[in-house]
């Protein structure tokens, strides 16, 4: 058995992303004289890599959604620009670049121009905390999940600023709807993520993934894991303003909502932020509930675990995220749009109480270690016998 295990271990090391970071660090240290220059170069390279990844990712998601929509409606989707329309996102990008920039005459120009940037930057920063592989993470904090929840909340400020500064009543109504909807559903999403934090015992994304080495929390936490995963999926879909929760951009009511007065690249930044948010919430869901880059492990089943370990970690991660993104796109062509009162009633009268209930049950299960493949509790130290008092001698 030992002879067969060695090649398997070697094949796993070939996919290890630790070597990439080590080689890059060594080359920077050899080229730059000061340690702070090495750190600054790492930050710049990470930002460039994330910017390129975000741009390519947005174009891929636009193409995939148009294809998914076409097949759901029994048509082909984009087919003209390139083989099977694969160059259609590039054509759309060039079209947006060539469009005229139009600013309303009575708009607040400073806030009007800053709003798309604020929305995009909030999404872009969150991507830096996502662990794509064991050592493929731009920024690692011991409270990374909490930081991402805080930064992602800034996106709604850009939407509110866009609606208010456009001097358009439809934009303003759409922005007010966005503020009420996103802030409300953020609460349920945060409570759902706290369940994973309770079982993992950490707010660090990397530690949350490592805590699922014996199995993913979606099934290791009895019933609670699956229920919480469903709650987070619903709340995060609403947070991204996706159908059936897209009342922020209700075409039949508000023309286009908060971005009615935007065109060209300013509109493209809102569009880009929306698709990045879909990827981010799917990545967080995959990390907290589906093990992130961790392969499928089942307790101490060494034979099965070795087979799953042969698949590279980044393939596990992007495979899980792709499945969740497809589910979000599936929602759009399955469920009708809710009314404003239905949407808010569903959050405050159903989803929020369910989130608190699952959080309480999860705390009890985690404290009592009543979940699958829970670590064994350390044995209690033996109790030392009580010292005996010496006998009292009678006075003679």
Domain containing 94 equals 29-98
Q: What is the mean pLDDT of residues 286-315?
A: 88
How far is it, in rounded angstroms, from Cα 325 to Cα 149? 19
Which pLDDT band holds residue 300 (cuts at 50, 70, 90)? confident
Does 263 score more than 70 pLDDT?
yes
Please choose, from the candidates 275, 146, 284, the residue with its C-alpha nearest in 3D space to the C-alpha of residue 228: 284
Residue 376 lies in a domain: no
C-alpha distance from residue 223 to each of 101, 200, 215 (Å):
52, 17, 14
Query: Both 111 and 83 in a single domain?
Result: no
Query: Both 214 and 322 in a single domain?
Result: yes
Q: What is the mean pLDDT of residues 102-128?
A: 91
Q: What is the mean pLDDT of residues 95-108?
A: 88
Query: Both 170 and 209 in a single domain?
Result: yes
Query: Both 84 and 140 in a single domain?
Result: no
Residue 19 lies in a domain: no
Residue 393 lies in a domain: no
User: Looking at 242-256, 280-294, 346-360, which range is the least confident one?
Assistant: 242-256
Residue 59 lies in a domain: yes
Residues 184 and 148 sit within 8 Å (Cβ to Cβ): no
Contacts of 32 (CB under 8 A, 6+ apart): 38, 41
> What is the tally of structural domains in the chain?
2
Query: Both 35 and 148 in a single domain?
Result: no
Please write the tens of the pLDDT for every residue from 31-80: 888 888 888 888 888 889 999 999 999 999 999 999 999 999 889 999 99
Does 4 score more than 70 pLDDT?
no
Does 160 score more than 80 pLDDT?
yes
Residue 156 lies in a domain: yes
Query: Both 56 and 204 in a single domain?
Result: no
Q: Domain ends where: 50, 73, 98?
A: 98
Q: Is the peptide bond before 244 cis (omega within 30 degrees of 0)?
A: yes
Does 84 score more than 60 pLDDT?
yes
Query: Both 300 and 152 in a single domain?
Result: yes
Q: Please count the other Cβ atoms lying within 10 Å of the Cβ belonging to residue 286.
A: 27
Query: Both 253 and 298 in a single domain?
Result: yes
Average pLDDT value for the chain: 86
Residue 263 lies in a domain: yes
Contacts of 359 (CB under 8 A, 6+ apart): 191, 194, 195, 198
Residue 381 lies in a domain: no
Residue 377 lies in a domain: no
Query: Both 277 and 346 in a single domain?
Result: yes
Query: Both 132 and 49 in a single domain?
Result: no
Query: Both 270 and 189 in a single domain?
Result: yes
Please write the tens of the pLDDT for every residue from 180-203: 899 999 999 999 999 999 999 999
pLDDT value at residue 246: 83
């Amino acid at each position: 058995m030992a002879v067969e295990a060695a090649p398997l271990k070697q094949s796993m090391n070939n996919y290890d992303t630790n070597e990439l970071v080590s080689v890059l660090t060594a080359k920077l240290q050899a080229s730059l004289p000061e340690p702070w220059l090495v750190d600054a170069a790492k930050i710049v390279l990470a930002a460039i890599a994330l910017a390129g990844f975000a741009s390519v990712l947005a174009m891929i998601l636009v193409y995939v959604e148009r294809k998914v929509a076409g097949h759901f409606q029994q048509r082909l989707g984009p087919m003209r620009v390139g083989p099977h329309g694969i160059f259609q996102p590039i054509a759309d990008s060039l079209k947006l670049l060539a469009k005229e920039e139009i600013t309303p005459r009575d708009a607040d120009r400073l806030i009007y121009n800053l709003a798309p940037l604020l929305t995009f930057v909030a999404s872009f920063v969150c991507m830096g905390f996502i662990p794509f592989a064991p050592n493929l993470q731009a920024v690692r904090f011991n409270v990374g999940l909490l930081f991402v929840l805080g930064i992602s909340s800034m996106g709604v400020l850009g939407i509110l600023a866009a609606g208010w500064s456009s001097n358009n009543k439809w934009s303003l109504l759409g922005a007010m709807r966005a503020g009420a909807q996103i802030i409300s559903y953020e609460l349920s999403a945060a409570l759902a993520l706290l369940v994973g934090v309770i079982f993992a015992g950490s707010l660090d994304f990397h530690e949350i993934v490592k805590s699922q080495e014996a199995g993913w929390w979606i099934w290791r936490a009895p019933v609670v894991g699956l229920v919480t995963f469903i709650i987070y999926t619903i709340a995060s879909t609403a947070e991204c303003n996706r159908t059936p929760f897209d009342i922020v951009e209700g075409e039949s009511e508000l023309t286009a909502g908060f971005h009615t007065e935007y065109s060209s690249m300013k509109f493209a930044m809102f569009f880009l932020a929306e698709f990045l948010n879909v990827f981010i919430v799917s990545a967080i869901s995959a990390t907290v509930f589906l093990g992130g880059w961790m392969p499928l492990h089942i307790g101490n089943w060494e034979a099965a675990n070795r087979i799953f370990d042969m698949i590279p970690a980044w393939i596990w991660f992007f495979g899980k995220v792709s499945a969740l993104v497809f589910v979000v796109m599936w929602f759009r062509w399955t469920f009708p749009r809710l009314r404003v009162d239905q949407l808010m009633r569903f959050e405050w009268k159903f989803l929020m109480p369910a989130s608190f209930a699952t959080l309480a049950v999860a705390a009890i299960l985690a404290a009592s270690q009543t979940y699958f493949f829970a670590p064994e509790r350390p044995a209690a130290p033996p109790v030392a016998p009580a010292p005996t008092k010496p006998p009292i001698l009678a006075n003679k």
